[in-house]
Amino acid sequence: MLKIDIQKAMLSAEGKTNLEVCSEIQDNELLCLFGHSGAGKTTLLRILAGLTKPDKGRIVFNDTVWFDSEKKINLPPQERNVGYMFQDYALFPNMTVEKNISFAQKEKNKNEVDKLLELFDLEILKNQHPEKLSGGQKQRVALARALAAKPNVLLLDEPLSALDFDMRLALQHEIRKAHDLLNTLTVMVSHDLQEVFHLASSVIMLKNGTVINRGAPAEIFSENTYCFQQRVCYQFNQ
Amino acid sequence: MLDQDFINTLLLTGKLAGWTTFILFIVGFPMAYVLAYKRFWFKPIVEALISMPLVLPPTVLGFYMLIAYSPQNAFGRFLEQHFNTRLAFSFEGVLIASVIFSLPFMIQPLQNGLTSIPKSYRETAYTLGKSEFTTFIRVLVPNMIPSIITAAAMTFAHCIGEFGVVIMVGGNMPGETRVASIAIYDEVQAMNYHTANQYSFVLFIISLLILTLIYSINGKKKIFL
Interchain CB distance below 8 Å, A145 and B128 = yes
Domains of chain B in sequence order: 4-115+144-218 (1.10.3720.10)
- CA A22 to chain CA mean position, Å: 18
What is the chain A residue with the closest CA to B126?
A78
- Give the strand order in the sheet containing A30-35: A73-74, A64-68, A56-61, A2-12, A15-25, A210-215, A202-207, A30-35, A185-190, A153-157, A82-85
Question: Which pLDDT does position B221 carry in this prediction?
Answer: 59
Residue with more model confidence, A194 or A152:
A152
Helix, strand, coil content of chain B in percent (nearest 5): 80, 0, 20
Structure confidence at residue A164 as a pLDDT band (50, 70, 90): confident
Residue A188 forms contact with B (CB below 8 Å): no
Average of pLDDT values for B139-161? 93
Question: Which pLDDT does position A93 carry in this prediction?
Answer: 95
| Burial B15-45, CB ≥16 within 10 A → b, else e | ebbebbbebbeeebbebbbebbeeeeeeeee
Cβ contacts of B124 on chain A, cutoff 8 Å: 84, 86, 90, 92
Distance CA B6, CA B11 (A): 9
- The pLDDT of residue B222 is above 80: no
Average of pLDDT values for B22-26? 96
- The pLDDT of residue A91 is above 60: yes
- The pLDDT of residue B49 is above 50: yes
Write out pLDDT tens, residues B170-221: 888 888 888 999 999 989 999 999 999 999 999 999 999 988 988 887 776 5
Cβ contacts of B143 on chain A, cutoff 8 Å: 92-94
pTM, to two decimals: 0.85
A2-92+158-237 folds as Rossmann fold (3.40.50)
Interchain CB distance below 8 Å, A86 and B120 = yes
Nearest to B206 by CA among B181, B178, B223: B181
Structure confidence at residue B135 as a pLDDT band (50, 70, 90): very high
Question: Which pLDDT does position B225 carry in this prediction?
Answer: 34
Distance CA A17, CA A37 (A): 13
Question: Which pLDDT does position A230 carry in this prediction?
Answer: 59
Question: Testing the interface with A: which of B123, B128, B224 to mutate, by most A Cβ within 10 A?
Answer: B128
Q: Which of A92, A106, A131 sits opposite B139 (nearest CB)?
A: A92
Interchain CB distance below 8 Å, B123 and A83 = no
Residue A79 distance to chain B (closest CA, Å): 7
Nearest to B36 by CA among B103, B100, B110, B127: B110
Residue A80 forms contact with B (CB below 8 Å): yes
Chain A (36-55) residues lying within 8 Å, Cβ to Cβ, of chain B: 49-51
- The pLDDT of residue B142 is above 80: yes
Question: Which pLDDT does position B147 carry in this prediction?
Answer: 92
Cβ contacts of B129 on chain A, cutoff 8 Å: 78-79, 81, 106, 149
Calculated CA dihedral for residues B186, B191, B195, B200, nearest 10 degrees: 70
Residue A162 forms contact with B (CB below 8 Å): no
Q: Is the dihedral of CA A21, A23, A24, A25 positive or negative?
A: negative
Dihedrals φ, ψ of A118, to 5°? -70, -45
Nearest to B9 by CA among B124, B211, B160, B224: B160
- The pLDDT of residue A231 is above 70: no
Average of pLDDT values for A73-101? 94
Task: List the end-to-end C-alpha distance of chain B, in Å, as a whole number.
Answer: 45
Q: Which of B124, B130, B223 sits opposite A90 (nearest CB)?
A: B124
Interchain CB distance below 8 Å, B130 and A51 = no
Reported as type and span, the H/E element at residue A227 is: helix A226-237
- The pLDDT of residue A38 is above 90: no
Residue B208 distance to chain A (closest CA, Å): 30
- The pLDDT of residue B223 is above 50: no
Domain locations in chain A as residue ranges: 2-92+158-237
Interchain CB distance below 8 Å, A84 and B118 = no
Residue B40 forms contact with A (CB below 8 Å): no
Cβ contacts of A149 on chain B, cutoff 8 Å: 127-129
Average of pLDDT values for A157-178? 78
- CA B109 to chain CA mean position, Å: 12
- The pLDDT of residue A67 is above 80: yes
Residues composing chain B: 225
Cβ neighbours, 10 Å, residue A105: 18
Instruction: Tell me how many residue pairs between chain A and chain B have CB atoms under 8 A apart.
Output: 59
Residues composing chain A: 238
Separate counts of helices (H) and strands (E) for chain A: 8, 11
Residue B189 distance to chain A (closest CA, Å): 53
Q: Which residues pair with A185 in a beta bridge?
A: A153
Residue A118 CB partners (closer than 8 Å, separation 6+) = none
Residue B224 forms contact with A (CB below 8 Å): yes
Residue A185 forms contact with B (CB below 8 Å): no
The mean of the pLDDT values for chain B is 90
Residue B185, SS3 per DSSP? helix
Question: Which pLDDT does position A31 carry in this prediction?
Answer: 93
Write out pLDDT tens, residues A102-153: 999 988 899 999 999 988 889 999 999 999 998 889 988 998 999 899 898 9
What is the chain B residue with the closest CA to A131?
B223
Q: Which of A50-59, A208-217, B166-175 has the highest mean pLDDT?
A: A50-59
Question: Which pLDDT does position A238 carry in this prediction?
Answer: 53
Average of pLDDT values for A217-233? 64
Q: Which of A78, A92, A94 sits opposite B126 (nearest CB)?
A: A78
Residue A131 forms contact with B (CB below 8 Å): yes
Question: Which pLDDT does position B224 carry in this prediction?
Answer: 40
Write out pLDDT tens, residues B63-119: 999 999 988 888 888 888 888 888 888 899 999 999 999 999 999 999 999 999 999
Separate counts of helices (H) and strands (E) for chain B: 12, 0
- The pLDDT of residue B124 is above 60: yes
| E-strand stretches of chain A | 2-12, 15-25, 30-35, 56-61, 64-68, 73-74, 82-85, 153-157, 185-190, 202-207, 210-215
Question: What DSSP character marks residue B137?
Answer: I
